[in-house]
C-alpha cells in the first residue's frame, strides 16, 4: 500500500520532476532513458552500478575499476541521476563502461529499465533507496547491494518517517556494506537483517592515485613557477567570495601567491570567473588554455576530471562545501596526495572520515574566510607544520584501506550465486572480512 501511494504521488508531481530534470540532460542521451527506454542487453552479461552524482562516481571509482578487471566478460553499466555525474563517468572511464541516466522511480519506467538492462547484480553506491526500482529488481530475481552505505542523521529521520514504504524496499536488499558502525546501526534500525549487513569501511580510503596524476601536477606546477600555491576544490555558491577574501589576505603577505579555484558544478564556471574579475583578481582559465603566469592571482579550474591534478600542483588544499551548509566534500583526495587538508566546519556528509583525520592530526578547520586567510599565512610560514599535516593525512588513507577488498569479496559471492541460481549468501556465512554490526 505504501508503494502505491508513493507512486501516485510521483505521478502527481511528474511535471515538477521533469522541469527539474531539464538541466540534468545531455544531448547524446535520449530523454526516454528517464522512462526506461534504453537498448536491450539480453545477449550480454551485465553488472549495473548506480552512482547518483559526481561524489558517488568518485567514491565508486576503485570499485568500478575492479569490476572491469575482475569480470572482463561482462559489460559494466554505470547509471547516474545528474549530468555532472555522467560527465564524470566519461572522464574517469571513457569507453570502458556504458553510461545511461537511471529511470525515474515510476513503476513502469523502472520495470522497463530493469527488464532491458537485465543485470546479474544491481550495485547502489551510498544510499539511493528507490522503492520501485528495488521492487523491479526483486521481481526479476536480481540481487541489490548497497556499497559504502551511509545514512546521515537527517536521512535516518526521514526514512523513519516513511518506515512502511522504505521498510518494504530495505527488506528486499541482498546485502548492505556499511561505511561505519554507526551507519550499520541505522540500517539495522530501518529493518536490514544482521545476516545481510557488514561494516566494510569507507571505499574512499581505497582511492588509487595514478602516477599520471603526479606527472600532470608537476607539469602544471612547472608552468605556475616557484611561488606559494593553494587549491580550493569543489567550491559552492556563497563560498567563493569567502575564499577570494582569504586569498586577498594571503596576497597581502605573499604577493606572488596563486589560488587554484575549482567550482563543484560546471554550470557555475562563468559565474565564478565573473566574481573573480569583480573582486579585482587577475584570472586565467584552464578551459581556455591560458597560462597561470607570474601576474596571475587566480587560476580557474573550469574543466572536468582534473581536480586531483590541481591538488597535486598545490602546497595546501582547502576542500569546499564546508564553509556553506552543504556538508563537505571528499577530504581524502588531497590527503591521498600527502597535502595538508583545510576545511570549514560544515562536514555532516563525511561522518567518521572527519573524526579519523582529526584524531591523527591531519586536518585544520576554519570557521570563515577571514580565519582561512590567517591559516594560509600561518601554514605557508611553517613548512614543518605543513609537512606534518600532509604526512599524517597520507598515513590515515594508507591505514584505512581495505573496504574495496571486503566489498569485492561479497559482491563476487552474490554474482556467483546468481549465476548458479543459488540463494543469496548471508553475511554470517564465511564473512568477507568486514566486521559484523
Alpha-carbon span 345 to 327, nearest angstrom: 9
Question: Is the predicted pLDDT of residue 430 greater than 50, yes or no?
Answer: no
pLDDT tens for 350-392 read 777 899 999 999 999 999 999 999 999 999 999 999 999 999 9
**Residue boundaries of the structural domains of the chain:** 2-201+402-419, 211-399
Active-site residues: which are they?
56
pLDDT on residue 428:
52
Report pTM: 0.75
pLDDT in tens, 132-147: 999 999 999 999 999 9
Looking at residue 348, its pLDDT comes to 82
Cell numbers given for 94: 571513457
Q: How far apart are CA 177 and CA 145, in angstroms?
A: 8
The answer, yes or no, to whether residue 432 has pLDDT greater than 50, is: no
Q: Is the pLDDT of residue 433 over 50?
A: no
Complete DSSP assignment for 341-362: EEE-S--TTTTHHHHHHHHTT-
Look up cell 543485470; give the residue.
Answer: 119
The CATH class of the 2-201+402-419 domain is alpha beta
pLDDT at residue 326 above 60?
A: yes
pLDDT at 365: 97
What is the radius of gyration, based on Cα positions, of the chain? Answer: 22
pLDDT value at residue 437: 55
Task: Answer yes or no: same fold for 2-201+402-419 and 211-399.
Answer: yes
| Residue 429 reports pLDDT greater than 50 | no
Nearest C-alpha neighbor of 246 from the set 283, 298, 286, 291 = 298
Percent helix / strand / coil, the chain, rounded to 5: 50, 15, 35
Q: How many helices (H) and strands (E) does the chain have?
A: 17, 14
Residue 287 to residues 258, 269, 306, Cα–Cα distance (Å): 17, 10, 11
Identify the residue whose cell numbers are 558502525: 181
Pairing, β 341-343 against β 363-365:
parallel
Share of the chain above pLDDT 70, in %: 97
Judged against a pLDDT cut of 70, whether residue 74 lies above it is answered with: yes
b/e map of 113-147 (b: 16 or more CB within 10 Å)? bbebbbbbbbbbbbbbbbbbbbbbbbeeebbbbbb
User: pLDDT band for position 162 (50/70/90)?
Assistant: confident
| Residue pointed to by grid coordinates 582569504 | 246
Between residues 437 and 78, the one the model is more confident about = 78
On whether the CB atoms of residues 282 and 100 are closer than 8 A, the answer is: no
Of the candidates 302, 282, 307, 304, the one whose C-alpha atom is nearest the C-alpha of residue 292 is 282
The tens digit of pLDDT for each residue in 211-222 reads: 999 999 999 999
Q: Which of 13-17, 73-77, 187-191, 278-282 is predicted with the least confidence, judged by mean pLDDT?
A: 13-17
d(CA 105, CA 293): 49
Please write the tens of the pLDDT for every residue from 32-57. 999 999 999 999 999 999 999 888 99
Architecture of domain 211-399: 3-Layer(aba) Sandwich (3.40)
Q: Grade residue 435 by pLDDT with cuts at 50, 70 and 90.
A: low
Q: Residue 98 corresponds to which cell in the numbers above?
A: 556504458
Amino acid at each position: 500500500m505504501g508503494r502505491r501511494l508513493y507512486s501516485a504521488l510521483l505521478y502527481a508531481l511528474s511535471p515538477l520532476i521533469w522541469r527539474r530534470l531539464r538541466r540534468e540532460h545531455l544531448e547524446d542521451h535520449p530523454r526516454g532513458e528517464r522512462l526506461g527506454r534504453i537498448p536491450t542487453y539480453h545477449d550480454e552479461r551485465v553488472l549495473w552500478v548506480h552512482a547518483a552524482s559526481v561524489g558517488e562516481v568518485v567514491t565508486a571509482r576503485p570499485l568500478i575499476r575492479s569490476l572491469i578487471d575482475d569480470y572482463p566478460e561482462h559489460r559494466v553499466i554505470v547509471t547516474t541521476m545528474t549530468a555532472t555525474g555522467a560527465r564524470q563517468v566519461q572522464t574517469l572511464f571513457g569507453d570502458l563502461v556504458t553510461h545511461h541516466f537511471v529511470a525515474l522511480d515510476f513503476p513502469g519506467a523502472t520495470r522497463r529499465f530493469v527488464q532491458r538492462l537485465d543485470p546479474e547484480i544491481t550495485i547502489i553506491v551510498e544510499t539511493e533507496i528507490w522503492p520501485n526500482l528495488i521492487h523491479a529488481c526483486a521481481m526479476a530475481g536480481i540481487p541489490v547491494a548497497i556499497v559504502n552505505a551511509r545514512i546521515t542523521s537527517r536521512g535516518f529521520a526521514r526514512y523513519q518517517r516513511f518506515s512502511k514504504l522504505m521498510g518494504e524496499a530495505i527488506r528486499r536488499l541482498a546485502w548492505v556494506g556499511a561505511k561505519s558502525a554507526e551507519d550499520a546501526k541505522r540500517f539495522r534500525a530501518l529493518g536490514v537483517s544482521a545476516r545481510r549487513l557488514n561494516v566494510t569501511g569507507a571505499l574512499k580510503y581505497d582511492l588509487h592515485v595514478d602516477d599520471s596524476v603526479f606527472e600532470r601536477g608537476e607539469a602544471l606546477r612547472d608552468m605556475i613557477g616557484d611561488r606559494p600555491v593553494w587549491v580550493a576544490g569543489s567550491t559552492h555558491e556563497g563560498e567563493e567570495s569567502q575564499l577570494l577574501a582569504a586569498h586577498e589576505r594571503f596576497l597581502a603577505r605573499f604577493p606572488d601567491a596563486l589560488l587554484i579555484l575549482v567550482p563543484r558544478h560546471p554550470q557555475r564556471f562563468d559565474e565564478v570567473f565573473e566574481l573573480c574579475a569583480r573582486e579585482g583578481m587577475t584570472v586565467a582559465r584552464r578551459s581556455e588554455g591560458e597560462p597561470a603566469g607570474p601576474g596571475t592571482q587566480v587560476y580557474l579550474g573550469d574543466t572536468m576530471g582534473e581536480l586531483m591534478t590541481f591538488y597535486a600542483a598545490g602546497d595546501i588544499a582547502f576542500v569546499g562545501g564546508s564553509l556553506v551548509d552543504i556538508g563537505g566534500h571528499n577530504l581524502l583526495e588531497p590527503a591521498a596526495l600527502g597535502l595538508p587538508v583545510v576545511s570549514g566546519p560544515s562536514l555532516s556528509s563525511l561522518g567518521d572520515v572527519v573524526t579519523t583525520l582529526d584524531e591523527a592530526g591531519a586536518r585544520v578547520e576554519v570557521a570563515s574566510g577571514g580565519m582561512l586567510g590567517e591559516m594560509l599565512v600561518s601554514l605557508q610560514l611553517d613548512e614543518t607544520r605543513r609537512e606534518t599535516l600532509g604526512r599524517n593525512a597520507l598515513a590515515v588513507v594508507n591505514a584505512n584501506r581495505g573496504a574495496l577488498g571486503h566489498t569485492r569479496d561479497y559482491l563476487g559471492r552474490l554474482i556467483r550465486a546468481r549465476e548458479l541460481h543459488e540463494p543469496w549468501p548471508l553475511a554470517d556465512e564465511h564473512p568477507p572480512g568486514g566486521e559484523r554490526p
